[in-house]
Amino acid sequence: MEKKIRVLVAKPGLDGHDRGALVIAQALRDEGMEVVYTGLRQTPAQIVNAAIQEDVDCIGLSCLSGAHNELFPEVVRLLRERQADDILVIGGGVIPQEDIPFLESAGIAKVFTPGSPTKDIAAFIRQRVQPKSVNVTKPPKKIAHIGIAVHSIEAALPFYCRVLGLKLLGCEEVAGEQVKIAFLEIGESRLELLEPLGPDSPVARFLTKRGEGIHHIALEVDDLEQRLSSLKENGVSLLNDTPREGAHQAQIAFLHPKQAGGVLFELCQHPGKVRRAGADE
Amino acid sequence: MSNKDFTQLYQEWQQQVKDRLVKAPERKQRFATSSDIEVDRVYLPEQIDGAYMGKLGFPGEYPYTRGVQPTMYRGRLWTMRQYAGFGTAEETNKRFRYLLKQGQTGLSVAFDLPTQIGYDSDDPMAAGEVGKVGVAIDSLEDMETLFDGIPLDQVSTSMTINAPASVLLAMYIAVAEKQGVPSSKLSGTIQNDILKEYIARGTYIFPPKPSMRLITDIFAYCSEHVPKWNTISISGYHIREAGATAVQEVAFTLADGIAYVEAALQAGLDIDRFAPQLSFFFNGHNHFFEEIAKFRAARRIWARLMRERFGAKNPKSWQFRVHTQTGGSTLTAQQPDNNIVRVTIQALAAVLGGTQSLHTNSRDEALALPTEESARIALRTQQIIAYESGVTDTVDPLAGSWYVEYLTDQIELRALEYMEKIEKMGGAVAAVEAGYMQREIHKQAYETQRKIEAGEQLVVGMNCFQLEDEPQPELLRVDPSIGRKQKEKLDALRARRDNAITEQTLARLRQGAEGTENLMPLILDCVRHYATIGEICGVLREVFGEYRAV
């Protein structure tokens, strides 16, 4: 059985506001983690002792009294002193934005301010506590294509075909995504020009918000379904939990761009390359 | 009684009010709308009958559903009391003088956590916390600075202090002595509500039993020496902040109230001597009509409890007088200016509910302590409600609304069910020790979080209508050198004072704590001789032990 992530939720200092700490403790339990709550009024030394004794993977510090700049870094310092700084430390509470860079530089991996969804906190812990299991997946095979959003394929094509000299392979409408796509060949990859077919198309929203330009990068894989479920288990947030149909009957899924510095990645798998577990049906 | 008799009762009430007006006139001779429609003091059903008299009654009369004063805000507006305090006594004294100059009518002191938990600023447990959430008070010296230039016979002061309430009250009395003001002229409130500290707020020191003794000692001392003082502010505020519903807020607060009354009766006090000095503290939350109904229901339940169950004879013992603070946990860190609107709605509900005093939160509550500008906007919000909205022109304007009366009845009914459950567990103290209220509140807090994350409960600017790039507001920073400054002051004090006498007063306190005598006079003696809060609470910690949460 897979080992559960262990988290110590701790209240450093004299602050008595533990609504947030208690809610997060329970939310993490509901996410399948084992959670120990220290109770109120813990010194940094008591917290570090408890973390080591309980063999936790992560410490979540909560402080609403304004003492975070003194108390949070002290926890990290003591962890280093005890050579236990492999324990992930995150924090939350009434913490002004301007204090966050200082806390991060002092070794607090992330600060979650009021209003943070508990699911994001759980996802962050999973991602940071078990990075190895994400890495064991093999790299994608190649860049399948780069998607470029345009208002009109007709207007954009002359640049790609005449100025860049790329070969137009054809056009296709993908009704599910409300988008028309032009495929341009470039070596083993392609450029795809994406034109929205209606105002509700994701590409239309992209154009309104950011204008024309690079929309996404697609990576070719041959294990899409398994890969998605493994990413999901590791707390990577996905726009599509299960594969859906893209152009050329490819199976596709998008990852959430917030964890990739704003870049939208698509994973795609083309028919004929499906690898199934126990594949004899 | 026939309807005619009820009409006669109404005429008698009117006559009493008129007699009263000779001594205490209303704010204006005549109240009228913009269209010059004259506004009456109170509006009543066409037929005053037994049902009306039983449930609502006239304003200022049993069961006080319509308010504790017959003229309410036509006579006097609520006390505008903004909670303030940070850093050193010097800085907070400056903020107090600023607020008084801005038209605030009462002071409300926020103490830092070491003070609230009975540690001196140089105690290792105080590291990082000195001056952060309130002002740091170590000895009488700091208290003298805090009220420098503020005549204590002319201002009413509320102090948010619980476990060491007797120490801070003693310091206040001692400062007044130095100003030449006798304790009989002091008015104000100490929070002094330890049960809700175990339930929701967390600044407890001692176990329940000795804590209840400290509280009843204060009741007894004040009924004799500080008669205008509210000796306790039985608080639902923090219970609500921790996640409770409006019904739970009413039920748990009143259950705590019953526990204090019973403790005082057991200590041999006469109900009509101490009960008029009990006051309450509620939250002003989001659901507008439910909040208004909550205040009305609480007044009715308390009046009946005091009169019928405890047999109090003095009408002042029946009155549920309440301070309100708008709900801090409803405010968002996102788009903080939106909080001004939330606070306005919550404050309006408290006023329509008939609060006696009000603190309106500042827009930056979810980010830091308020800046001077934010604190001013919060006070202006109250002033606009008071002076511009016209809601103060008539008493209990929402009475008779079928909806509001229904909600009032429902809150009463459901709160009484909860209170009965707590009675069966052996009362509030037993329920707290068993962790019952704590669990109920936590369940509710978790459910609220779930609803917000699922989008079932919308919070504007947080889970809907978000902004991508939020501008960062200016925030108040507490000077980080304050810990060192307080330590220097303490060193100087300990070198300067007559340590032999201070030691004597502390030894006498220990002796008292081991026995059964009233500790207030002994604590007063300690603070007069500049014993620090850490020294006084240290002695009591040794005798009483410390509470450990369940």
- Residues A222, A264 within the same domain: yes
Residue in B86, B115, B129 to test binding to A, most A beta-carbons within 10 Å:
B129
Peptide bond into B45 cis (omega under 30): no
Q: Domain of residue A169: give its range.
A: 142-269
Distance CA B143, CA B150 (A): 12
- Closest by CA position to B528, among listed B26, B170, B260: B170
Same domain for A264 and A147 = yes
Listed by number, the residues of chain A in 56-85 with a beta carbon closer than 8 Å to a beta carbon of chain B are 65-67, 69-71
Q: State residue A225 phi and psi, 5-degree precision.
A: -60, -50
> Number of structural domains, chain B?
1
Residue A277 identity: A
Say if A183 falls within a structural domain. yes
Place of tokens 């137009």: A168
Query: Across the interface, do B472 and A13 touch by the CB < 8 Å criterion?
Result: no
A138 contact partners, CB below 8 Å, separation of at least 6 = none
Tokens representing B30 are 């005549």
What would the pLDDT profile of A38-79 be if each residue is shown by its tens digit? 999 999 999 999 999 999 999 999 999 999 999 999 999 999
Q: How many CB atoms lie within 10 A of CB B373?
A: 14
Q: How many Cβ atoms sit within 10 Å of the Cβ of residue A73?
A: 18
Residue B523, in any domain of the structure: no
Residues A92, A112: Cα–Cα separation, whole Å:
5
Task: Check residue A2 and give its pLDDT.
Answer: 63
Mean pLDDT by 10 residues, chain B (550 residues): 82 93 94 97 93 96 97 96 88 91 87 97 94 95 97 94 98 97 96 97 96 96 96 97 98 98 95 96 98 98 98 98 96 95 98 97 89 93 97 98 98 98 97 96 96 95 89 80 92 96 98 97 98 98 92
Inter-chain CB proximity A114 and B117 less than 8 Å: no
Could you tell me if B124 and B112 are in contact, meaning their C-beta atoms sit under 8 angstroms apart? no
Q: A 9-28 residues with CB below 8 A of B?
A: 13-19, 22-23, 26-27
Predicted complex ipTM exceeds 0.90: no
3-state secondary structure of B502: helix
**What confidence score (pLDDT) does residue B351 get?**
98
Question: For chain B, how are helix, strand and coil distributed in percent, rounded to 5?
Answer: 55, 10, 40
Residue B305, number of CB atoms within 10 A of its CB: 19
| Chain B residues near residue A98 by CB distance under 8 angstroms | 472, 475
Q: Which range (A72-76, A111-115, A243-247, B272-276) has the least confidence?
A: A243-247
- Asked if residue A110 and residue A193 are part of one domain, the reply reads no
| Residue A274 maps to a domain | no
Query: Are the C-beta atoms of residues B138 and B486 closer than 8 Å to each other?
Result: yes
pLDDT for the residue numbered A137:
65
| Alpha-carbon gap, residue B407 to B385, rounded angstroms | 24
Cβ(B509)–Cβ(B539) below 8 Å? yes
A114/B332 CB distance under 8 A: yes
| Interface with A, mutate which of B364, B443, B446, B450 (most A CBs under 10 A) | B446
Residue A244 within any structural domain of the chain:
yes
Check which CATH number belongs to the domain holding B277 and give it: 3.20.20.240
Interval B280-311: pLDDT, tens: 999 999 999 999 999 999 999 999 999 999 99
Annotate A175-190 with DSSP letters as a single string.
GGGTEEEEEEEETTEE
In a domain? residue A62: yes
**A99 and A33, same structural domain?**
yes
Return the amino acid letter for B88: T
A115 with A16, same domain: the answer is yes
Report the C-alpha gap between A110 and A112 in whole angstroms. Answer: 7
Query: How many structural domains are present in chain A?
Result: 2
Q: What is the CATH number of the domain that holds A175?
A: 3.10.180.10
CB contact (8 A) between residue A18 and residue B368:
no
Strand blocks (E) in B216-297: 229-230, 232-235, 278-284
The token pair that represents B198 in the structure block = 């175990």
Q: Which residues pair with B188 in a beta bridge?
A: B157, B229
Q: Is residue A49 part of a domain?
A: yes
How many residues can be counted in chain B?
550
What pLDDT does A272 receive? 67
Instruction: Give the residue numbers spanning the domain of B237.
Output: 52-454
Q: Alpha-carbon distance B240 to A153, whole Å?
A: 58
- A148 with A259, same domain: the answer is yes
Residues B369, B336: contact at Cβ < 8 Å? no
Residues A104 and A152 both lie in one domain? no
